[in-house]
Amino acid sequence: MVELMVTLALVAITTGIAGPPLYNLTLDNRRADNVNELVSELQYARSEAITRNSDVVVCPSTGGTKCEATTWQSGWLIFADPNGNAAVDKGETVLKIGNAIVGATFSTAEFASFLRFRGNGRVMVKNVAESTGEFTICDHRGAEYARVVQIDLAGRPVVSPHLLDGSSPLCPA
């Protein structure tokens, strides 16, 4: 009986010491998966725009059939947009449908409605100041654990712990 009690005490101590780091490791891996999925999808859209030498749009979508006024973590849609109207029209090719992300929030000021890659791979809008932007990915742990996917002038997504201006990201409460 004494041996059993000692064994149970050792298991309890080991679990108490190892539990929190393993929990954070799990959350870090989930965050990395979410960030990598977004980066991969943006790289795919950019590659398709270059290959097609035509606009490709990435937009938030819950149903996978049209762009919607919803959050990016609800899912997204990637489609060829040769007429440049940022809407899925008859005859336009839907390239990919992104699944909803659980346990994270994606926020962006620059690309709230959509993100357009031009045929040269750049994210271009009416002026150069709007040709970059960022997505902030947060989980319930807050800004200290947030990651930022920056879109640079060449249209490439880059992962960083900081915003484009060098400041720390903010996460919704």
Instruction: Show me where the domains of the chain are located.
Output: 2-52+102-160
The CATH fold assigned to 2-52+102-160 is minor pseudopilin epsh fold (3.55.40)
Choose among 151, 142, 148: nearest CA to 162.
Answer: 148
Interatomic CA distance for residues 75 and 60, integer angstroms: 6
Determine the Cα–Cα distance for residues 139 and 78; give it in Å rounded to an integer: 24
**With contact defined as beta carbons under 8 Å apart, do 134 and 165 qualify?**
no
Q: Alpha-carbon distance 114 to 12, whole Å?
A: 50
Neighbouring CB atoms inside 10 A of 172's CB total: 9
* Calpha distance 30→64 (Å, rounded): 23
Note the pLDDT tens digit of each residue in 116-149. Answer: 999 999 997 655 666 788 999 999 999 999 999 9
Ramachandran area for residue 84 (φ above 0: left; ψ -120 to 50: alpha; else beta)? left
* pTM > 0.95: no
Cβ(62)–Cβ(164) under 8 Å?
no
Banded model confidence at residue 18, pLDDT cuts 50, 70, 90: low
| CA 36 to the chain's CA centroid | 7
Tens of pLDDT along 49-71? Answer: 999 999 999 999 998 899 999 99
Give the integer Cα–Cα distance in Å for 36 and 50. Answer: 21
Q: What's the whole-number mean pLDDT along residues 27-50?
A: 94
Q: How many CB atoms lie within 10 A of CB 153?
A: 11
pLDDT tens-place string over residues 70-110: 999 999 999 999 998 999 999 999 999 998 888 899 999 88
Q: How far apart are CA 79 and CA 91, in angstroms?
A: 11
Element (H, E) at 105: strand 105-107
Q: Does the pLDDT value for residue 15 go beyond 70?
A: no
